[in-house]
Structure 1
Amino acid sequence: MCGRTVLSLSKEQLQCACSYKSDKTNKYVKAEWLHEHNDGKEYIPSHNIAPTDVTPVLVSANKYRNGAKNEHVLKPMMWGIIPPWHMEDYRTHKLSTNNCRLENIKSSRLYNPILRNGGRCIIVVEGFYEWQTTEKTSKTKQPYYIYMPQEEKIEIDECTTWNNTFEEAEGWKGICLMQIAGLYNVWQNEDKVIYSYSIITMDSNSTLSWLHHRMPAILNTQDQVDAWLDINNVEADMALSYLKPITLLSWHPVSTLVNNSRNKSENCNKKILIDRKKTTQKTLNEWFNKTAKRKSDDNDCSEHKKAKQ
């Protein structure tokens, strides 16, 4: 699954990071930013993005203007698709739509029509958080930050090392963003229009199965990105075939500060050290202390019995 993401780049930086090579000029063009009013919510850079937050999502420009070949645009959308049949307050539909399972999309009353109508998008993030569910002995689930491998000297949790630049000849240089396949829909009632999306998830492979049994559908190549967004030439079933579990990922443990979605600061994705040896030793010490205490209590009882005799 995927329940929290990170995107701290500004609007202008993200337009550069999502640039594409123009077929007309052979130069890199910044992705256009298309504004929409999502009930007054706007994109706010954050180190702890939660469902119902608004984030920029990459979509094909063909949806908004004819003849826009291989052009991509960014649109702010709310995380968590609003079912099109829900006509009351959009916050009261009570369905869990933050993630959609890849294996269930074609049989879904909600997701299959959206897929068939070209509602394919890419959620652009710096990384996402996942809580370890495979460690059954731990009382608390350890959160991890998962992200794409970075160039040498770039530290994902230290923005001063990113050296982000953009040039028309070479495009974006700097932090390597993660691109996750998703579905989006436009919901509206009498007075609101809201764009909302769901992240597609799949069974984890050996890369992340130690952490969690589900993982997002991450697009790792330009061919995957182009095919997923090319709604005019790549039909739905073919597009789904491009979604494969990724093998090259990086991660590190983070503080439980991220557990609270109200915590949005840069401290959320900072790397922490987990001293497992110390934890084990502490457990052993506690065991020996308890054993020693039991022996002491037994001796006290024996002395008490002798005194009574």
Structure 2
Amino acid sequence: MCGRYVLSGTPSELSAYFGLQDCPDFLPRFNIAPQSDIPVIRQRPEIGLVGQIVRWGLVPSWAKDSSIGAKLNNARAETVADKPSFRSSFTRHRCIIPASGYFEWQAVSRNGKAFKQPWYIRPTEENAYFAMAGLLAKWVAPDGSNLITACVITTEPNGVMTPIYDRMPVILSGNDIGTWLDPVNHDRNVLIPILKSVADETMKAVPVSLSVNRAGNEGPELIQAIELSE
């Protein structure tokens, strides 16, 4: 799964990296949790790639209320094209969720005590971003207002992630980003194969402080590597 992530860049840096035609303002954050407002990137016909602020936690258009979004932070690549919660978004409303890195928790035992050690996973290349594959949905509230939401698609782990956890975000690169964002591409035979784990050499993982466990904690110290005790 993907339950917390980091976006430490600025709107101008994000625009330059992904070639955005427009990007809303946002503040750098080091511990983004579900139900937060987050920047996503989508392709608008005749405009190009643009940023948009949405809520993390997908609320399908048919939902009776928005509370379902708390349960739909992630979608599994293996079933995303067929599950009713995600099927329409997979076909017509895809995005990428930019990230400087993300956190995952490894179940460990140390000194006879079981706990979960957090790890920060980031691009190997400095000042790069992950392009996490995501979905969008629009839900109309009873008062007529629109709520735009998103979720992260996950897949099986690569070699870096296997010792840490059994899932990881789908991270797109190269031509796969354009294929995923193309709003006229509805071909599941083209889209499904790109929802795979990224190459090991494109990412690195470092252990970080237990401080990240609290969603209210913020700051660059959360992504600083620590030494693990024996």
Normalization by structure 1: what TM-score? 0.68
Cα displacement (A) at 1:206: 2.6
Residues 55 and 149 in structure 2, CA contact (< 8 A), matched pair in contact too: yes
Paired residue for 1:252, among 206, 215, 224?
206
Matched to 1:114, the amino acid is S
Query: Residues 21-52 of structure 1: CA distance to partner in whole angstroms, max 9, x if unpaired?
Result: xxxxxxxxx4312x6xxxxxx84321000001
Q: Tell me which of 232, 237, 260 is aligned to 2:189.
A: 237
Cα distance in 2 between the residues matched to 1:185 and 1:194 = 8
In 1: Cα distance, 2:9 partner to 2:167 partner: 27
How far residue 255 of structure 1 moved from its aligned partner, in angstroms, is 0.3
| 1:114 corresponding residue in structure 2 | 89
Structure 1 position 217 matched with structure 2 position 170: yes
**Using the alignment, how far apart are the partners of 1:204 and 1:85 within structure 2?**
32
- 1:11 matched residue in structure 2: 11
The one-letter amino acid of 2:192's match is L
What is the percent sequence identity of the aligned residues? 28
Structure with higher helix content: 1
Equivalent in 86, 109, 114 of residue 63 of structure 2: 86
* Distance across 2 between alignment mates of 1:266 and 1:7: 11
Question: Any conservation in 1 of the 2:160–2:204 contact (CA below 8 Å)?
Answer: no
CA contact (8 A) 2:160 2:205 kept: no
SS at match of 1:106: coil
* Alignment partners' CA distance in 2, 1:257 and 1:55: 22
Letter in 2 for 1:256: L
Aligned to 1:142: 117
Following the alignment from structure 2 to structure 1, what is the Cα–Cα distance between the partners of residues 104 and 181?
Answer: 26
Post-superposition Cα deviations, 1:123-166, rounded to whole Å, max 9, x if no partner, equal 00100000003x35652110000011024xxxxxxxxxxxxxxx
SS in 1 for 2:212: helix
Q: Give the structure 2 partner of residue 298 of structure 1.
A: none
- Conserved 8 A contact 2:35-2:70: no
1:85 partner amino acid:
W
For 2:193 and 2:98, how far apart are their aligned partners in 1? 20
Query: Any idea what SS the aligned residue of 2:179 has?
Result: helix
Q: Distance in 2 between matches of 1:61 and 1:107?
A: 25
Point out where structure 1 has 5 or more consecutive residues left out of the alignment: 20-29, 36-41, 152-174, 277-309
Q: Which runs of 4+ in 1 moved over 6 A?
A: none
Q: Deviations over 1:86-112 (max 9, x none)?
A: 244x2x337511110111112311101
Give the letter for the 1:49 counterpart.
Answer: I
The 3 A distance-change label for structure 1 pair 194 and 256 is: same
CA RMSD of aligned residues (A): 1.9
Pairing of 1:70-81 with structure 2 (within 5 A): 71-81=48-58
Query: In structure 2, what is the equivalent of residue 101 of structure 1?
Result: 76
The structure that has the greater radius of gyration is 1
Counterpart code for 2:94: R
8 A Cα contact 1:252 1:271, kept in partner: yes
SS in 2 for 1:55: strand
Q: Relative to total residues, which structure has the larger strand share, 1 or 2?
A: 2
Please give the secondary structure, in 2, of the residue aligned with 1:139. Answer: strand
* 8 Å CA contact 1:120, 1:184 repeated in 2: yes
Hey, what's the Cα distance between the residues in 2 that align with 1:227 and 1:261?
A: 34
Counterpart of 1:57? 40
TM-superposed CA distance for 1:233, in Å, is 4.0
Q: Is the 8 A contact 2:57 2:69 kept in 1?
A: no
2:106 aligned with 1:132: yes
Partners of 1:227 and 1:95 in 2: CA distance: 28
Give, in whole Å, the separation in 2 of the partners of 1:140 and 1:269: 19
Q: Which residue of 1 aligns with 2:217?
A: 263
